[in-house]
Amino acid sequence: MAKQPESTIDLSPVEELLRKFLLDCRDHIVYNSHDSTNLDLWFAGGWVRDKLLGGECQDIDVALSSMTGAQFGEALEDHFARSAAAYIAEAQKLGVPPTIKGLHKINSNPEKSRHLETGTIEIFGLSVDFVNLRKEVYTNQSRNPQVEFGTAVEDAYRRDATINSIFYNLDKRRVEDHTQMGLSDLAIGIIRTPLEPTRTFQDDPLRILRLIRIASRLGFAIDQETAQAMKDPLVHSAFNEKISRERVGIEVEKMIKGPDPLIAFELLYESDLYSTVFLDRAGYLRHALLHFFPRSGPGIPWPNSWPFAFRNLAFLLQHRPGHWESEAREHIWLMAAWAPLAPLRRTDIEQVVKSATEAIKTTSKTSQLLDDCLKNMDSIHASVRQVTTASAGISRSALGRAVRSWGTSWKLQVLYVLLADAISSQAVNYNAFTDLLLNGYSKFMDHVFEQGLQNAPLAKPILNGSELKTIFNLRQSGPFLKVALESLVQWGFDHEHASKKDAKEWVLMQRENFCIP
């Protein structure tokens, strides 16, 4: 149930200082311009929402009635330079950074759904975005609107959600709900768009991901009309056309790092957004995956087996986190996001990895993780089978060599294979998932740790290169030393308590095998 919101907002001391600073700057601008036109300011968006719910927010959007965000940001820098002493003293008294810095202008780009020139700046440790109130005028000659200065009411209706359309008037110190829906939706925990949702999403399709992220963060429900519009193929086409993959990646990262990634993934699935978000815009991956996951029918999200991965991951993290709880959260959930790609490991892995990671603009480290998952999946399968099959078994050295070959991300790779298996086996409930898969993979992980092989990728030989040169009376190194050192590591897996003397005796018998001159 949504927390009942307040109808008033109490500013913290640093927010009070920010309010004073902004209004002082506004008064200075109006006085020196000899312009009787009001320049009104509001805190808006997520800051107002979170404060009304009793939370705190370090990111503040400031709406301006008659000035662009970049213009006001420049005026702030000038005002601070002239009147810094009083603000610095007050900021120091509060224990916050006594500075304003880093004005960054973001130009408008209607083709990419950036309709406003904004200014972003850090003030007293708070991240503050300035943007003018807007209204949009559509013409028959262009699919992109003309953006003009608007009123607070017009601006509120153009925002992504009613609960983000509530303003806090800095002069009057009051909450203003211009859509007449924001406060009530906040009270009942509903997310809806102020205007007709398809129009809202086609204006800025990234709003779909923002609403999903907010819903998962607050535990709110998305109203039926808005949810239906989120599934619209025309909206998805606009998404692919207008939204940069960098912006997609940022939203996905925020979802994964939020309090409930499961809700976010459920909403992505219900909105049939898997392909739009996680696959390449060109359609290479989608075309390849349709061979393995055919469309089930109209209105059914695709791929319909993807939930087996993320729902079972949530179950695992809640009940049996075990050896995975120390892994980075974003990597854990990306394993579920990419689990449907597993059948493509026998195709062009380089192209698969490039297409998938470009879709959300991951780091090179994360790209390498997906590459390792796909390349090592069959080897991991084989090792898990050997450990979990009673009639088989695997030696410590063979297991150590396998884990070492997978690299330092081996635990995440095992998790990836587990989730891919959850999709292929279609474990329809958590009991089936546990019995068919989780128990076996947990047994494998336990065995690796019981054998002390969890750090096999970082294992070092008991003898170093200099010692080997001395043993073999060598003056120069050569490729044979690399062979000898790696062989020593593998020998050590089956002789974990051996001494250097034992190692020296063994390597002397291996001279010919190492091709040492």
Helix (H, G, I), strand (E, B) or coil at 189: coil
More confident residue, 28 or 253: 253
pTM of the model: 0.88
The full DSSP string for 70-126 is: HHHHHHHHHHHHHHHHHHHHHHHHHTS---EEEEEEE--BGGGTB-S-EEEEEETTE
* CB within 8 Å of 388: residues ≥ 6 apart: 440, 443, 444
pLDDT-derived band at 113 (thresholds 50, 70, 90) equals very low
DSSP state letter for 279: S
pLDDT of residue 147: 76
| Strands lying side by side in the sheet with 41-44 | 100-106, 118-123, 126-132, 59-64, 41-44, 166-169, 174-177
Helices (H) and strands (E) in the chain, counts: 24, 11
pLDDT of residue 1: 45
Peptide bond into 303 cis (omega under 30): yes
Mean pLDDT, range 170-194, rounded to an integer: 96
pLDDT of residue 140: 47
* CB within 8 Å of 55: residues ≥ 6 apart: none
Query: At residue 115, does pLDDT exceed 70?
Result: no
Lowest-pLDDT range of 20-34, 122-136, 179-193: 20-34
Query: At residue 206, does pLDDT exceed 90?
Result: yes
d(CA 427, CA 161): 37
Percentage of the chain with pLDDT > 70?
Answer: 93
d(CA 400, CA 387): 12
DSSP state letter for 291: T
Digit-coded pLDDT (tens) for 40-53: 999 999 999 999 99
d(CA 205, CA 52): 27
Backbone angles phi, psi at 143, to 5 degrees: -80, -15
In one-letter notation, the amino acid at residue 185 is D
Spatial contact of 103 and 126, defined as CB atoms under 8 Å apart: no
Helix (H, G, I), strand (E, B) or coil at 397: helix
- Residue 44 gets the label, from left (phi > 0), alpha (psi -120 to 50) or beta, of beta
* CB within 8 Å of 364: residues ≥ 6 apart: none
Mean pLDDT, range 387-396, rounded to an integer: 79
Query: At residue 142, does pLDDT exceed 70?
Result: no
Digit-coded pLDDT (tens) for 295-319: 888 889 999 999 999 999 999 999 9
pLDDT of residue 265: 98
DSSP state letter for 342: G
More confident residue, 319 or 393: 319
Q: What residues pair up with 503 in beta bridges, in sequence order? A: none
* CB within 8 Å of 103: residues ≥ 6 apart: 73, 74, 76, 77, 119, 120, 121
Q: Which segment, 113-117, 308-312, 457-461, is predicted with the most confidence on average?
A: 308-312
Domains of the chain: 1-188 (3.30.460.10), 199-278 (1.10.110.30), 329-458 (no CATH), 465-510 (no CATH)
pLDDT of residue 37: 66
pLDDT-derived band at 141 (thresholds 50, 70, 90) equals very low
Q: What residues pair up with 42 in beta bridges, in sequence order? A: 63, 169
- Across the chain, what does the average pLDDT equal? 90
Query: At residue 331, does pLDDT exceed 80?
Result: yes
The CA-atom distances, in angstroms, between 2 and each of 49, 117, 185, 215 are 12, 34, 10, 11
Q: How many residues does the chain have?
A: 517
Mean pLDDT, range 195-204, rounded to an integer: 92
d(CA 132, CA 149): 7
d(CA 363, CA 479): 33
d(CA 43, CA 516): 74
Backbone angles phi, psi at 293, to 5 degrees: -130, 80
Lowest-pLDDT range of 123-127, 132-136, 300-304, 512-516: 512-516
Tokens of 401: 């060599």
- Residue 243 gets the label, from left (phi > 0), alpha (psi -120 to 50) or beta, of beta
Percentage of the chain with pLDDT > 90?
Answer: 65
More confident residue, 476 or 338: 338
Q: What residues pair up with 128 in beta bridges, in sequence order? A: 60, 121
Q: By CB neighbour count within 10 A (0-12 exposed, 13-18 middle, 19+ buried), where does 224 fall? A: exposed
Digit-coded pLDDT (tens) for 407-455: 999 999 999 999 999 999 876 678 888 888 999 999 999 999 999 999 9
**Please, what is the end-to-end C-alpha distance for the chain in angstroms?**
76
Digit-coded pLDDT (tens) for 337-362: 999 999 999 999 999 999 999 999 99
DSSP state letter for 341: G
More confident residue, 467 or 259: 259
Strands 166-169 and 41-44: antiparallel
